[in-house]
Structure 1
Amino acid sequence: MAGDAVPTAVVRLDSADPLAATDAEWFRLATAHGLFDEEDGGFLVTLGDGGWFRVRLGQEWRLAEVLRSQPRCPEFLTLSSDGRTLLGVTTEEYEIWLIVIDDLPAHQERRARRLARAESDEERAAAWEGLFGRLRVLPATRERWATGLLSNPALPDDLRVDLMVRTRRFHGRPLPAESIDALLAHPDCPQAGLLRYAGDSDPRMRRLALDDPDSTPELVERFTLDPHHEVRLRAAVDPRLSRLGAVRLLDDPEAAVRAAAARCSRLPAHVLVTLLRDRGTAEDAARNTAIPLGVIRQMAERDRSGAGRGPG
């Protein structure tokens, strides 16, 4: 969940039975905010780094005990079947936080608009300086930087060789994942007239519309809100994707779409820095061509030296 989240309820870790108390608070909030499906009581659950699974509570359930990152440290997200109510559980230093978002799409849109604001040169420079601030960058995050930088076209050749040796990875830009992408990349593939598929019911046909020479940035923006992930993914990799569209897709439920959005060069610097400092998004963000060359050198050189601590 976002780093600026405010807890709806808090359970102290030094309480008598914090896990049971967390389950009780979770159930109270889930009931009050309409998390459970009215027909069968189902809801969606994820640990945050995998897919969503639709489940129902059994007679004996212990979410806080089972869904955890470490002992006594529950970490999970639950979502209503209609995608509107999000109830998350996360463990802080001395407390377990439960956070409710009642209208998730509206919340994500407000957050996207706030983060996508225009930046001054001073704000952009300050954001990049913050990447190597006083907080320690975890080694795992630095490993993901290195792997991501190998696929960044802006990486200088002198740094690429070094990163290949250290990471034992010898890849460059990722190849297209789907056969339709390979077809569209073929020089003999006709592209004129594909706009007629923009409203097609088949998402695999609908996404072709953006390859028409007459397609517009407005269509890219429209496709960021498409109900099918394949269409949103096509919008996420389009070079005309707007700053707002890219930030919006960072909250997409599909990991591939979020990863593509993290590589958008129009992302505001302060948003990109946040992604680079997050272990879960660092690798994809490190592929972003908007990273200034001086920062790329710092990222690679500091990784090579093993230095992970800022001043102080």
Structure 2
Amino acid sequence: MTYAREEVLRGLARNEAASSDVLLRLLRPEAKAAWDYLLNRSGLPADVVDALVTHENWRVRGVFAQSSGAAPADRARLVDDPERRVRLELADGPRPYHRTVEPLPDETYARLLSAPDRVVREMAACSSSIPDRILAANAGHDDPWVRKAVCRAWDLLAPDVHAALLADPDAGVRRAAARQACRTDEAHTDEVLAGVERHERRGVLEEARLPRATAERLLDLDDPYDREALAANPSLPPDLVARLATDPEHDVRRAVSARPELTEEQRAAIDYKVESKDSLGRLGWVLALDGDSDALRACANSAHPWLRRTAAVHPALPADLVELLAGDEQFVVRLFICEYQPDAPAEVLLRTVLEWSGYTTYDMLRLPQFPRKGLARYADHPDPARRRLAVHDPDATPEQIERLSRDESDWVCRQTAADPRLPAARIEEFLRDQWTAFQAASNPALTVARMHRLLDELGVPA
């Protein structure tokens, strides 16, 4: 039986035991299937990085420019790349799920924002990873697209800079400035609402300081979408908040119930519910709280699940509140503790993995505090979701791993394919199976000599 070629190449690109020589071979055109996996890998050796940033194929350099695993200083070496598309990828930056991106060096942003190519400048200014302080330093930039992006750093700008942006000769800059200014100055709110696109309207209604007449007019319109957004607006007068608290639409009442100024008794008096299946955004006012504040503690102890959910993802949640919310009655709160808190307690990590099989459980299993010892007790469990956990027990015997590699569940078999305790002959079998070849090729038990022979057999030149 032949090898599952592309899966083997991708697995070798992820193999932590692969030497520089192996990784360099994977940069050959014949190993193109491995490129995305290799280029997004973290901790690449210096000689491999050198080969990436000078690779003859611009697509290799372009993917590396957006790599979420590469060091920013290594990506920055592409700032003068001869291929425009590579420079655009660098300017845009990585967009990993659930993680923030470390910014490029300051001098690299300076080069990108002063690039002769207008689109490169605009991509850099609009990048999600560019720091606000870099934007704030470019308030007087010649490019109106950059000045428009500068408005995102509004709170760092001086009053005279605010005034200049609000009076900018470019209409797009003026609109962006007014959008930020309306959060504290109601004089701009009606103008912003009149010109905003529908998909941006909700954010304005939630954040802008509202003239009384505007708020009353919007409440009188038969638009529950607008009323739900208004229900979160901090400038809404108390009597209008009270009106929305009895709104016929449940989602509007629920939005009112999560307002920051309400007491627990006032929240309880509103007819709302939050179920585990409800997909709710994070409450910005909770995330903005200081990690040591009494207000954050009140949110973590609230009877309102939405407040507790948001507290669970707070980046500065104190250890005692992490412990508290790890035992929450709502599954989503416990899940968020596991997904967002690096020091989530071991017992809640295990409980969540046993209760749920979502893809973030793989991140949980990799956390150093995850309780792996003893998981081999699930090796004979009737549920394959639990049998697969046995593979993560450091004390599981090679015999147990080999037996699980022949499990009736393909999912369990696949879990064993990357385990270095697996017999060499079984790894070889897995390399020829489309379902398990990726994991088998990433198995650190493969010797470098065996990796080179694999590449020989797959027609990848040395």
Which of the two has higher C-alpha Rg? 2
What is the TM-score with the length of structure 2 in the denominator?
Answer: 0.28
Structure scoring higher RCO (CA < 8 A, sep ≥ 6) equals 1
Task: Choose between structure 1 and 2: higher helix proportion.
Answer: 2
Normalized per residue, the structure richer in strand is 1
Q: Taking structure 1 as the reference length, what is the TM-score of the superposition? A: 0.39
